[in-house]
Chains A and B, each alone.
Chain A
């Protein structure tokens, strides 16, 4: 499954790159991009564990940039 999330207050481009790295390292993630320009995060991961992976990804983002909010619908 592939899903895109909006990011609010992602203030630094370097952080975006770091977030991307961190999410890619999560087990079960096939591909991930964090775009500073479009303020969006796309995660492609296994279907069964998708929700869990998204939770981990949000946690990883928070660790890099605590002010950045991921909008999980």
Chain B
């Protein structure tokens, strides 16, 4: 509790004691007797102890022209109750109002704190080496090129490269993944990760304001700027709601008694209206739920740039994926070995030995496949022929490895293999020896991630790629994509997104998932742009609406679930608050409701809505149920 909250608590207790005392004073039989005055004085003391600041604020705000503020409404209701002789109720309204306010302030403060703890990336200090000494300074005082020391248990304060030592880094705060990342000299480290077991020295590569931790923090903190449509709607609603209820109160207090003359009864009902007229429960709980959802998501390595994107994601029905790096690993691997007249291993050995000289990613993948099987051969000589392949002498044999054009150039007819992927042909001493098929493999969990998206009601899942048709369709089939748009030129992706956008049913959203490298226009065009594996990539963080810090594609259905849960909580709160308020207002008109119910409808509902909003933060069980 803050100092202010403690002070208020003491005040509330004092007022409650006086209030209870008031009931021990026997009610006077006749007005203006000594006993009557004593009783009034005790209740008045309790009332003023609890509510003097509310009264004061009400007066002050009226002078500023704010008629419908909550202080004024509460003051009017309670003063009115005192005037019509309902001392105990007038006092109780004020005391409960204050209890509610206190509770509300504690709950909001708590949730604010737990959300900010969740995204607690910002380091408090940095140990910098200066003139042979290690001194502790603020992270923003460290310059580029300085050496910082990070001990076990400390957070890495700035981005840099390890120059000494090795350790395991916990990047959970950044990526939501708790597996340790081993780093040693020469490795890049990102600020916000936690050093677990070894002392390392880091050469700083960026200033604090440009560091990963600072950027992510800024991203999440600024998310409050992008308000959800629901929040804007509630704000507009609140602006109308209060005056309408107040007008209702005034007419209730003035019109019916003209006919039945029962002034005190109708005035009491009017005052009850005033108590219910504050829209606070709604105004607080909606943004708090979204903020909780954003905080919970960030805990899983899903950075959401604003409540509006969470809201859009909740109704996303069309998911468009970029292929390379999103659905596939983004790196080539040997998928098939088709030898002709020799064994698989022999073919792989020969090709790898030749391809060693090349830096082409396909060549590298063949070399690494051979290394994995510990296959080695002596390369006597090798020469790369750009655009064709490699000509080499391995173990005395003349080897030619390359594309179909290369084979044709050598006068060899390559075998046609109608498979997906890139085919690397091999000739030995002028005779065809078979081929190796290299493919960008789909991610292992892509299948389950896409299946979960379907279960969550994703109507269309579309893959965009620049690849040839058969290669694209093979990947699509492997991961469970229904539609493929292939052979796209780099700038054709946006057009494709545009076309899908035009077919989108009303009230649904289109979500584009890319790796962020060259998808910026598509990310921006979609209702929700999700960039994957974006840790350390500024361009992706800039372009996307939601940023997945790690490469885990299963975080997409998780993000949808978090968005849906948040949206459900927001709806629950709105419906609950409005229903209770409407019920109390109706009961009051018919004289069944009283001020106690009204106080519950005001502060009680706020508190319940806040507690419900806090649920948006908890995402643990969502992952389990995935």
Query: Which residues of chain A have a CB within 8 Å of any CB of chain B?
Result: 4, 9, 11-15, 17-18, 33, 35-40, 42, 63-64, 66-67
Cα-based distance from A33 to B225 in the complex (angstroms) = 6
Cα-based distance from A36 to B70 in the complex (angstroms) = 16
In the bound complex, do residue A14 and residue B112 qualify as a contact, i.e. CB atoms below 8 Å apart? no
In the bound complex, do residue A66 and residue B283 qualify as a contact, i.e. CB atoms below 8 Å apart? no
In the bound complex, do residue A42 and residue B288 qualify as a contact, i.e. CB atoms below 8 Å apart? no
Complex contacts, A40 vs chain B, CB 8 Å: 221, 224
Residue-wise interface mask of B (49-89) relative to A, using a CB-CB cutoff of 8 A (1 in contact, 0 not): 00000000100100010100110000000000000000000
Residue-wise interface mask of B (230-264) relative to A, using a CB-CB cutoff of 8 A (1 in contact, 0 not): 00000100110000000000000000000000000
B291 proximal to A (CB < 8 A): yes
Complex contacts, A39 vs chain B, CB 8 Å: 112
Residue-wise interface mask of B (252-283) relative to A, using a CB-CB cutoff of 8 A (1 in contact, 0 not): 00000000000000000000000000111001
Complex contacts, B57 vs chain A, CB 8 Å: 66-67
B227 proximal to A (CB < 8 A): yes
Further contacts, 20 of them, CB under 8 A, given A37-B108, A66-B60: A9-B4, A11-B105, A13-B287, A14-B69, A14-B70, A14-B238, A17-B239, A18-B66, A33-B224, A33-B225, A33-B227, A35-B224, A36-B108, A36-B287, A37-B112, A37-B224, A38-B291, A39-B112, A40-B221, A64-B66
Known: A33-B227, A37-B288, A63-B64. Is A14-B221 also a contact (CB below 8 A)? no
Cα-based distance from A33 to B112 in the complex (angstroms) = 18
Cα-based distance from A66 to B63 in the complex (angstroms) = 12
Expressed in whole angstroms, the minimum distance between the Cβ of A47 and any Cβ of chain B is: 19
Provide a sorted-by-A list of 22 A–B residue pairs whose CB atoms are within 8 angstroms: A4-B222, A11-B105, A12-B70, A13-B284, A14-B238, A14-B278, A14-B280, A17-B235, A17-B239, A17-B283, A18-B66, A33-B224, A33-B227, A35-B224, A36-B283, A37-B112, A37-B287, A39-B112, A40-B221, A42-B222, A64-B66, A67-B57
Cα-based distance from A17 to B602 in the complex (angstroms) = 18
Q: Which interface residue of A12, A13, A35 has the most chain B CB atoms within 10 A?
A: A13
Q: Which residue of B lies closest to A18 (CB)?
A: B66
Cα-based distance from A39 to B284 in the complex (angstroms) = 12
Specify which of B66, B101, B222, B291 is in contact with A37 (CB 8 Å cutoff): B291
Cα-based distance from A66 to B53 in the complex (angstroms) = 12
Cα-based distance from A32 to B16 in the complex (angstroms) = 42
Cα-based distance from A55 to B280 in the complex (angstroms) = 28
Known: A14-B70, A14-B238, A17-B235. Is A35-B287 also a contact (CB below 8 A)? yes
In the bound complex, do residue B238 and residue A17 qualify as a contact, i.e. CB atoms below 8 Å apart? yes
Q: Which residue of B lies closest to A62 (CB)?
A: B64
**8 nearest A-B residue pairs (beta carbon):** A35-B224, A13-B284, A13-B283, A38-B224, A37-B291, A17-B235, A33-B225, A14-B283
Expressed in whole angstroms, the minimum distance between the Cβ of B594 and any Cβ of chain A is: 25
Cα-based distance from A60 to B280 in the complex (angstroms) = 21
Cα-based distance from A35 to B226 in the complex (angstroms) = 10
Cα-based distance from A55 to B278 in the complex (angstroms) = 30
